[in-house]
Structure 1
Amino acid sequence: MSLLRPRTAVAVFLAFAFAYFFAALLRAITATLSPVLTQEFALHSRDLGLLAGGYFLGFAAIQLPLGAWLDRHGPKRMILAFLGIAVAACIAFSLARTFSTLLAARILCGVGLGACLMAPLTGFRRWLEPAAQLRANSWMLMTGSFGMMASTLPVQWLVPVFGWRPLFLVLAAAIALSMLVIALAVPAWQRPSAPAGERPGSYAQVWRDPYFRRLAPLGFFSYGGMIAIQTLWAGPWLVRVAADPPLQAAAGLFTINICMLGAFLSWGALNPQLARRGITTDRLIAAGLPLSLAVLAAIVLAGPAAGAWAWAAFCVCSTFVSLAQPAVGMAFAPALAGRALSAFNLVIFSGVFVVQWGIGLLVDGFGAAGLGTVDAFRAAMAVFLACSAGSYGYFMLANRDNDRTVTVHP
């Protein structure tokens, strides 16, 4: 590996973080805009879930080819190419007049921003030492929390003044600026040699890995579900279940995201120390993730009494599963890092799409079956809780005698 000097590493991190800030903002913005979009386009819950999930559908669809392209062409070339698509998608979203056009632009936005985390993580796998990789991953996610914070109260304040359509034109210009920063700061890529016997672009070694398969259900339901709640369903819950007015709901989403920011900041500070003490990712997930299940069960029981702080507690307790992402990257050789990370990202964001749309379908379905709005939301969240508990059970049972300290391949 060719490690970067500290000053260069900081510049590279900040360049990637600048782009990831806008990716996270766009990922979460539908939660804040849901009342406006619902009114303007006459959306049902299933439509809102599909629209928010459309981002993750596009995001997930590009992950497998992206992984192979990252290993071959490197982070710099790939993120610049994809961010160009994101600029076009934001412009298309601002001009949309029908739900189908809005959805198509949202899916294209997911495609264009699909490299904003995988590109830096692939680069960090070669450019940083293992402890620094864990810290950089957590602090990239912290940057994402800044973006999600910006999608709440700031957006809620700006939309009545400027409208949501001009806002997306401003975001297109900001993403174009981030492309310039990356072009100037990020080094070129020298393709690492592939492992012996591995076909170029093949995912076979990734899919066969028992550790990857053990983490996949957690990535789908627990990690994907956390993002689905944070980026969409916490907002409608606060408005339709807790009966908060839109501005108060936006403030609640701001609270959730600032708590997430603090959580990822803490993980970035603690991860290198935990790694040096031999505390494995598996042990941390096994001990910490049940807290999120307990909080979610309490939310289902509390119903309207569960507000922003309850959802903040759920999301923060779910951050234990975020530790799996860098662990997956370090479990494979550098030549496979892009594919391993993108494959796991595919699992996560497929889960986001399924959970976001699935909760919308369940809310409408339970409503059609005769439940009121509050009980329909509670029942939908209970189904999500059951799926998350099942994924945790599989994690604990699969290879339970192989609690593995990740083997970092040179």
Structure 2
Amino acid sequence: MQSLWVGAWLRDVQGFEPHQAAALVSILGFAMMAGCVGFGAAARTLERRGLSLYAFCGIGMALYVLTQMLIMFNAPLPASLLWAAYGIFGGTGILSYAVMARHFPPQMIGRVNTTLTLIIFLLIFGFQIGVGAVLSHWPASGGHYPALAHLSAWKILVALQVLSAIWYVLPGRQLARSGEMCAEQEA
């Protein structure tokens, strides 16, 4: 959503003027950069205090989904706060690289990171097209799609994120423990 469809959401669903939508997209972008840096630093600190990287990443992703739901259901909070939270918690995704690094031998990390990056870009490309395909099922009026069209597309994306979270948590319990054991063995 962030890279292509948030501006349209802000204009079509929330009724913002183009300059207001652009300002909120900028807030989101800066917040995402801060989230990437902040979550990296916070992960190290929290891990020293006993919260695993795996758990911290999962919590951040859950908060990201929650934030999206608050936006989708028009929570009575300031738009700048919601979109900043969307950006900050969206920055949690950067921790995926560190989580993956715990599950592969050091000589494989370059390939793992390259593959993860490729998959991320392919998914972004595919989901941008997918959102457009969902929106195209409704007639556009004056270059705007109805709110229901946007909401339908975003619900699909959130449903996919929830399924991904289930995949992350259920089989990951054993992987998280083995990753923590590898980290203990290295120390």
TM-score above 0.5, yes or no = yes
1:275-307, Cα deviation, whole Å (9 max, x unpaired):
33343221112333222222222222229x984
Q: Does 1:339 align with 2:111?
A: yes
| Pairing 1:35-74 to 2, within 5 Å after superposition | none
Number of the residue aligned with 1:384: 157
Please state whether the residue corresponding to 1:231 is helix, strand or coil. coil
Cα contact 1:241–1:377 (8 A) shared by 2:
yes
Match of 1:8 in 2: none
Equivalent residue runs for 1:202-217 within 5 Å = none
Q: Is contact 2:10-2:16 (8 Å) kept?
A: yes
Contact 1:328 1:340 in 2 (8 A): yes
Deviation, structure 1 residue 359: 0.8
Count of paired positions: 178
Q: Deviation of residue 248 (structure 1)?
A: 1.8
Partner of 1:362: 134
Q: 1:407 aligns with which of 162, 179, 182?
A: 182
Q: Which one-letter code corresponds to 1:289 in the other structure?
A: M
The structure with more radius of gyration: 1
CA 384–278 in structure 1, closer or farther in 2 if over 3 Å, else same: same
Give the alignment's TM-score, normalised by structure 1: 0.39
Corresponding residue for residue 396 of structure 1 = 169
Q: How does 1:165-244 map to 2 (within 5 A)?
A: 229-244=1-16
How far apart are the structure 2 equivalents of 1:268 and 1:284? 10
Partner of 2:148: 375
Cα deviation code 1:150-199 (max 9, x no counterpart): xxxxxxxxxxxxxxxxxxxxxxxxxxxxxxxxxxxxxxxxxxxxxxxxxx
Per-residue deviation, 1:363: 0.9
- Alpha-carbon distance in structure 2 between the residues aligned to 1:361 and 1:238: 19
Mapped pair 1:280 → 2:52: yes
Give runs of aligned pairs for residues 18-29 of structure 1, distance below 5 A: none
Q: How far has the Cα of 1:390 moved from its partner?
A: 0.8
The answer to whether the aligner puts 1:352 opposite 2:87 as a matched pair is no
Distance in 2 between the 1:402 and 1:238 partners?
Answer: 39
Cα RMSD for the two superposed structures? 2.7
The residue number in structure 2 matching 1:264 is 36
| SS of structure 2 residue aligned to 1:391 | helix
User: Using the alignment, how far apart are the partners of 2:20 and 2:99 within structure 1?
Assistant: 38
230-239 vs 273-282, which moves further: 273-282
Q: Post-superposition shift, 1:406?
A: 7.2
Whole-angstrom distance in 2 between the partners of 1:289 and 1:345: 18
Instruction: Note the 1:284-299 alignment, pairs <5 A.
Output: 284-299=56-71
Aligned twin of 1:51: none
Partners of 1:326 and 1:302 lie apart in 2 by 33
Asked whether the 8 Å contact 2:65–2:161 carries over to 1, the reply is: yes
Could you tell me whether the CA contact under 8 Å between 1:263 and 1:319 is conserved in 2? yes
TM-score, scaled to structure 2: 0.80
| 1:252–1:309 CA contact under 8 A, matched in 2 | no
Deviation at 1:329, TM superposition (A): 3.1
Q: Distance in 1 between matches of 2:70 and 2:105?
A: 42
CA drift of 1:386 comes to 0.9
Taking structure 1 as reference, are residues 307 and 241 closer, same or farther at Cα in structure 2, changes over 3 Å only?
Answer: farther
Cα distance in 1, alignment partners of residues 86 and 23 from structure 2: 17
State how far apart, in whole Å, the 1-side matches of 2:78 and 2:3 are: 17
2:173 partner amino acid = R
Contact 1:238 1:308 in 2 (8 A): no
Gaps of 5+ in 2: none
CA distance in 1, matches of 2:171, 2:163: 12
